[in-house]
Amino acid sequence: MTVTHGPETAAAILDLCAIPDVDRQACTRMLGTPADPGTQRALETLDARWRDAAAPALTQLDGVGENQWIEAILRFAPVAAERLERSGVSPAVIEATFADIGKQMELHRRTHGGFGMDAWSWVLLHLSGLLFRLGRLQHHLHRESPKGPWIIGLHIPEDGPLDPGAVDESLALAAAFVARHFPDARIDHASCDSWLLDPYLSAGLPASNMAKFAARFSNVEPRDQPHDALYFTFRVPKGTDPATLPRDSSLQRLVLERIDAGGTWQIAKGVCAWPEPRA
């Protein structure tokens, strides 16, 4: 994991992670030099968290910066892919899952205007052996405590409409996938923690796919998180003046009108039943 990679091997790693063309040169340079101590520490952390379903979220690690995390993610990706293939996960599922690594670099550039990955802590889940892109959604198999129930965390990639039929199909695919690859993990429920579950959004756009998705969840617990609605709607950094943002869509207008009125956007966590695998 810490050796240098020549151009061909580096290109294969960047293809695996779907790294955008604009960022490939910088990533190739990273892989072509020995890993420094911070990157090595990040690699050791990725290895230690492999298939640890109760590992807490990691938002920082002393001595490891954003670029070192990027390099560690790239170096660990082929290791994780090989482990998944050995366990029987199809190359198509691995490819779909790891493509989000490049997507996060693309979104970083769109938001901040340059190279980076401010969502590196989110990407660690893709290399844990416990998160998979199956159809429209990403599914994260985890436990909130070492002896707690098994839960599927649902995440929504930014690459198309949230069509109810596509969501149903993704859940069915995931139920079969988990039953096949994790037969000892009896899923208690699925959950989602997102600004899309803010009740204000469903009330403002009741016929939208977002509202239909939110309606799947019960025991919804909102909490203030003012920036998420701006970030995910407009992909702008914190501190952006809402007055400078466009109002071209009904969603954009709803987000900004609530802020104009002195309201605060929230994120909410809700739960839904996990489907039985199809016979």
List the alpha helices (DSSP H) in the chain: 7-16, 21-31, 37-48, 66-86, 91-112, 120-123, 164-181, 199-204, 209-214, 226-234, 250-260
Query: Do 210 and 113 belong together in one domain?
Result: no
Burial of 108 (0-12, 13-18, 19+ CB in 10 A): buried
Domain boundary among 106, 129, 152: 129
Domain boundary among 96, 113, 129: 129
Query: Do 112 and 207 belong together in one domain?
Result: no
pLDDT tens digits for 66-78?
999 999 999 999 9
The overall average pLDDT reported for the chain is 96
CB 31 within 8 A of CB 71: yes
CB atoms within 10 A of CB 26: 15
Query: Do 88 and 147 belong together in one domain?
Result: no
Is the pLDDT at 9 greater than 80? The verdict is yes
Band the pLDDT of 125: cuts 50, 70, 90: very high
Query: Do 109 and 166 belong together in one domain?
Result: no
Query: Do 37 and 90 belong together in one domain?
Result: yes
Buried b (16+ CB within 10 A) or exposed e, 79-89: ebbeebeeeeb
Domain boundary among 94, 129, 164: 129
CB 204 within 8 A of CB 245: no
Query: Do 86 and 159 belong together in one domain?
Result: no
pLDDT tens digits for 159-210?
989 999 999 999 999 999 999 999 999 999 999 999 999 999 999 999 999 9
DSSP state for residue 197 in the 8-state scheme: G
Instruction: Report how far residue 244's alpha carbon sits from residue 262's, in angstroms, rounded to the nearest whole number.
Output: 17
Query: Do 101 and 162 belong together in one domain?
Result: no
pLDDT tens digits for 224-254?
998 999 999 999 999 999 999 999 999 999 9
Amino acid 155: pLDDT? 98
Number of folded domains that form the chain: 2
Instruction: Report how far residue 259's alpha carbon sits from residue 146's, in angstroms, rounded to the nearest whole number.
Output: 40
Average pLDDT estimate for 27-56:
96
Query: Do 43 and 111 belong together in one domain?
Result: yes
Of 120, 88, 93, 98, nearest to 107 by C-alpha is: 120
CB 14 within 8 A of CB 28: yes
Query: Do 116 and 152 belong together in one domain?
Result: no
Query: Do 88 and 140 belong together in one domain?
Result: no
Amino acid 279: pLDDT? 63
Instruction: Report how far residue 68's alpha carbon sits from residue 37's, in angstroms, rounded to the nearest whole number.
Output: 9
Give the CATH number, domain containing residue 246.
3.40.630.120
The separation between CA 149 and the C-alpha centre of its own chain, rounded to angstroms, equals 22
| Residue 186, both tokens | 């009896």
Q: Which residue type does 51 have?
A: R
CB 14 within 8 A of CB 73: no
CB 153 within 8 A of CB 217: no
DSSP strands (E only) in the chain? 131-134, 137-143, 150-155, 187-194, 218-224, 266-272
Query: Do 21 and 48 belong together in one domain?
Result: yes
CB 125 within 8 A of CB 52: no
Domain that holds residue 37: 1-129
Percent of the chain with pLDDT over 70: 100
Query: Do 174 and 256 belong together in one domain?
Result: yes
